[in-house]
């Protein structure tokens, strides 16, 4: 069976309670109560509440000056970062006002004008307001589920029980001292706000015009006021009261217009334009109020009646009669009760800071106890496993220590050999420079003395220690070179052939020699070295890289 949910709206005029549950997609009322609030305060409203049913956890409406609703545009950020941003905003407001506040926030549906940003609706209530409600809740022996701005309850009542079209609608709940306003585009909430005003505007206007105060002014407004432009007044008193109330209706028009302008500014919807206005609340039943507002707002204005779509068959006759008389004043409470039965409903849930901390603690306690039990069990298993693993690790440690000692000795010997090799390499290079240069010069002279063509002679012969890439001496390691420069007799027969024979003879007589030759008519040069990298090794290296 579905769970009952209770919505409470305590105002300065009445205290309303609606209880119901969802059954087969319809909201079925299981309890309804309206009590007059003669004292006009929250305390007297809670004291007057005498419920004919067991309410269970309550969702309580918030309105008035101590409730602040803000709109903030933020980049699309993760939830944790958005919560942090809102905490900063709430802390700033609390510091500025010098009082502690409770808050909640929710994202509004993103309008096309948002340009990739999110719009956050942030509601903050002073704890002094919550304390007044909490005192009444505790005095009546009730249980709080959460507080919600009355405007959000109003929106959910329209979304669930209203005629939702693809137009822009302003819905206003006109109470005795406040007006709760929501603006919607189709099913999407665009704006929610609470303002001072309401039926008290009409009472104050009559009091000022006729010098009548208190309950008598309220009775005159209820019995004599007729705001229809073409109304025929039965007596001068009817006319005076209606005239005074017409001025108050103008104030109400200004109030609703300011809500639209405030929405355009706060939510940055400069093209927003109303298609129709719906009103509810105690003052909405005044004769001709819809016509007066329609004339001032230049859009159709109608009373909002959600009750035809609500199943009231479960109410007692007394409750059904109360619903028929005070249904317009119970729309917010209906929306709150509806929200509590729908997990997907758009909502804000404000709770006092101490209750929030308690709920957070209680929510975590079960997890902490379960986590503690699992931790103890795991620690016992872990100790047993760790003891066994420790024994294995000690044995492995002994083996590794032995291996490390052996590797360290090998490393030390290897380092000694590398140092010795470096010294020997330096000595070898020195000897190569001394011995290799002379040896190479001697072999070259021996070849020239026996095989140089008779028409050729040497003009310069030089032994050098250097680097030459063309002689396959790479890596910037100097090696012995022999540089030959010479001339040939003019008119020599086949000088190029003789030159080529001499070069080939050098290659045959000096195995492994690398040469760099140049021939220009009667001059030539040959740079040679037998200490270059062997060509075959270089080719093998290149072949290996390609493979």
If asked whether residues 497 and 379 sit together in one domain, one would say yes
Q: How far apart are CA 121 and CA 107, in angstroms?
A: 6
Number of independent structural domains in the chain:
3
pLDDT tens digits along 335-389 = 999 999 988 899 899 998 877 677 666 555 556 666 777 878 778 778 888 888 8
Higher pLDDT, 107 or 93: 107
Instruction: Say yes or no: 442 and 398 in one domain.
Output: yes
407 and 499: one domain?
Answer: yes
Closest to 513 measured CA to CA, from 534, 491, 495, 487: 534
- Regarding whether 434 and 347 lie in a shared domain, the answer is no
What are the Cα distances from residue 377, in Å, to 250, 387, 439? 73, 16, 85
pLDDT of residue 539: 43
- Rounded mean pLDDT of 388-394? 85
Distance CA 546, CA 529 (A): 29
Is the pLDDT confidence value at 489 over 90? no
Q: Are residues 340 and 452 in the same domain?
A: no
| 358 belongs to a structural domain | no
* pLDDT at 325 exceeding the cut of 70: yes
Please give the pLDDT value at position 547.
Answer: 42
Question: Which residues contact residue 76 at a Cβ distance below 8 angstroms, ignoring those fewer than 6 apart?
Answer: 116, 117, 118
> Containing domain of residue 168, as a range?
163-305
Within-domain flag for 424: yes
Which of 249, 270, 305 terminates a domain? The answer is 305
Rounded to a whole number, what is the largest CA-CA distance in the chain? 153
pLDDT at 250 over 50: yes
Categorize the per-residue pLDDT at 209 as very low, low, confident or very high, splitting at 50, 70 and 90.
Answer: confident
* Residue after which a domain boundary falls, among 286, 305, 324: 305
Are residues 340 and 391 both part of a single domain? no
For 23-39, write each residue's pLDDT tens digit.
888 899 999 999 999 88
- Cα 56 from Cα 21, distance rounded (Å): 12
Residue 190: per-residue pLDDT = 94
Tell me, yes or no, whether 356 lies in a domain: no
For 252-279, the pLDDT digits (tens) are: 999 999 999 999 988 888 889 999 999 9
pLDDT surpasses 50 at 223: yes
Q: How confident is the model at residue 198 (pLDDT cuts 50, 70, 90)?
A: confident
Per-residue pLDDT tens over the stretch 233-245:
778 878 888 888 8
202 within 8 A of 195, measured Cβ to Cβ = no
Q: Which comes out higher in pLDDT, residue 213 or 107? A: 107
Residue 180 resides in a domain = yes
pLDDT band at 540 (very low <50, low <70, confident <90, very high): very low
Cα–Cα distance measured from residue 92 to residue 86, given in angstroms and rounded to the nearest whole number: 10
Percent of the chain topping pLDDT 90: 42
Instruction: Determine, yes or no, domain membership for 531.
Output: yes
Are residues 526 and 508 part of one domain? yes
Residue 174 has a pLDDT of 94
Whether pLDDT at 16 is above 50: yes
pLDDT tier for residue 391 given thresholds of 50, 70 and 90: confident
Beta strand pairing call for 168-174 and 67-75: unpaired
Q: What is the per-residue DSSP string for 192-259?
A: EEEEE-THHHHHHHHHHHH---THHHHHHHHHH-B--TTPPPSSHHHHHHHHHHHHHHHHHHHHHHHH
The answer to whether residues 479 and 538 belong to one domain is yes
Quick: pLDDT tens for 439-470: 888 888 888 888 888 888 899 998 888 888 88
Average pLDDT, the chain: 87
Residue 13: CATH number of its domain: 3.30.420.380
Residue 361 lies in a domain: no
Determine the Cα–Cα distance for residues 154 and 325; give it in Å rounded to an integer: 19
Q: Kindly state whether residue 359 falls inside one of the protein's structural domains.
A: no
Tell me how far apart the alpha carbons of residues 251 and 199 are, in angstroms, rounded to a whole number: 11
What is the model's pLDDT at position 445? 87
Residue 395 has pLDDT above 80, yes or no: yes
**What is the pLDDT averaged over residues 160-178?**
93
For residue 231, pLDDT over 80 is answered with: no
Residue 333 CA from chain centroid, whole number = 33
Q: What is the mean pLDDT of residues 172-183?
A: 94
- Tell whether the model's pLDDT for residue 311 goes beyond 90: yes
Report the C-alpha gap between 286 and 201 in whole angstroms: 13
For residue 430, pLDDT over 50 is answered with yes
Q: When comparing pLDDT for 17 and 435, which is higher?
A: 17
Query: What confidence score (pLDDT) does residue 150 get?
Result: 96
Whether the predicted pLDDT of 219 surpasses 80 = yes
Q: pLDDT (tens digit, 9 = 90+) per residue, 272-310? A: 999 999 999 988 988 899 999 999 999 999 999 999 999
The pLDDT value recorded for residue 1 is 47
User: Averaged over 54-71, what is the pLDDT?
Assistant: 92
CATH of the domain at 222: 3.30.420.40
Q: Are residues 100 and 226 in the same domain?
A: no
Q: What percent of the chain has pLDDT over 70?
A: 94
Question: In terms of domains, do 276 and 338 share one?
Answer: no
Distance CA 37, CA 319 (A): 18
| Confidence at residue 7, expressed as pLDDT on a 0 to 100 scale | 96
On whether residue 362 sits in a domain, the answer given is no
270 and 209, same domain (yes or no) = yes
537 band by pLDDT with thresholds 50, 70 and 90: very low
Radius of gyration of the chain measured on its C-alpha atoms: 50
Q: Are residues 443 and 535 in the same domain?
A: yes
């Amino acid at each position: 069976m579905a769970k009952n949910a209770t919505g409470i709206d305590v105002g300065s005029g009445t205290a309303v309670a609606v209880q119901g549950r969802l059954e087969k997609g319809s909201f079925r009322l299981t309890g309804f109560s309206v009590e007059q609030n003669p004292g006009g305060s929250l305390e007297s409203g809670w004291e007057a509440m005498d419920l004919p049913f067991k309410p269970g956890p309550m969702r309580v409406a918030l309105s008035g000056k101590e409730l602040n609703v803000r709109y903030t545009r933020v980049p699309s950020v993760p939830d944790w970062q958005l919560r942090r941003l809102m905490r900063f905003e709430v802390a700033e407001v609390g510091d500025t006002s010098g009082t502690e506040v409770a808050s909640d926030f929710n994202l509004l549906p993103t309008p096309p004008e948002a340009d990739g940003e999110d719009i956050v609706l942030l509601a903050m209530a002073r704890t002094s307001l919550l304390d007044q409600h909490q005192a009444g809740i505790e005095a009546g022996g009730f249980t709080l589920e959460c507080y919600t701005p009355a405007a959000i309850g109003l929106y959910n009542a329209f979304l669930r029980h209203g005629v939702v079209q693809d137009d822009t609608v302003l819905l206003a709940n006109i109470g005795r001292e406040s007006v709760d306003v929501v603006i919607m585009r189709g099913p999407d909430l665009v704006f929610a706000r609470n303002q001072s005003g309401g039926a008290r505007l009409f009472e104050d206007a009559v009091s000022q015009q006729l010098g009548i105060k208190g309950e008598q002014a309220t009775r005159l407004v209820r019995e004599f006021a007729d705001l229809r432009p073409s109304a025929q007044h039965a007596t001068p008193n009817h006319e005076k009261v209606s005239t005074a109330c017409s001025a108050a209706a103008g104030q109400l028009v200004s109030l609703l217009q300011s809500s639209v302008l405030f929405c355009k500014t706060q939510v940055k919807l400069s093209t927003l334009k109303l298609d129709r206005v719906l009103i509810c609340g105690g003052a909405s039943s005044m004769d001709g109020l819809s016509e007066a507002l329609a004339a001032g707002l230049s859009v159709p204005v109608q009373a909002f009646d959600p009750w035809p779509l609500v199943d009231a068959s479960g109410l007692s006759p007394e409750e059904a009669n109360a619903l028929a008389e005070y249904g317009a004043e119970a729309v917010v409470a209906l929306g709150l009760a509806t929200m509590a039965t729908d997990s997907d409903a758009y909502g804000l849930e404000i709770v006092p800071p101490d209750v929030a901390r308690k709920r957070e603690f209680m929510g975590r306690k079960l997890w902490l106890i379960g986590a503690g039990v699992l931790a103890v069990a795991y620690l016992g298993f872990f100790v047993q496993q760790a003891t066994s693993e420790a024994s294995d690790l000690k044995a492995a440690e002994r083996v590794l220590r032995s291996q490390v000692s052996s590797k360290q000795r090998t490393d030390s010997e290897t380092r000694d050999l590398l140092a010795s090799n470096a010294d020997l390499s330096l000595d070898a290079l020195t000897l190569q420079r001394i011995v290799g240069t002379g040896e190479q010069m001697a072999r070259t002279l021996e070849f020239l003395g026996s095989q140089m063509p008779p028409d050729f002679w040497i003009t310069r012969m030089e032994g050098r220690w250097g680097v030459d890439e063309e002689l396959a001496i790479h890596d910037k390691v100097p090696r012995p070179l022999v540089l030959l420069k010479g001339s040939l007799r003019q008119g020599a027969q086949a000088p190029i052939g003789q030159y080529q024979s001499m070069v080939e003879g050098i290659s045959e007589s000096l195995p492994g020699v690398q040469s760099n030759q140049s021939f220009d008519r009667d001059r030539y040069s040959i740079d040679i070295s037998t200490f270059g990298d062997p060509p075959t090794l270089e080719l093998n290296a290149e072949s290996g890289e390609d493979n």
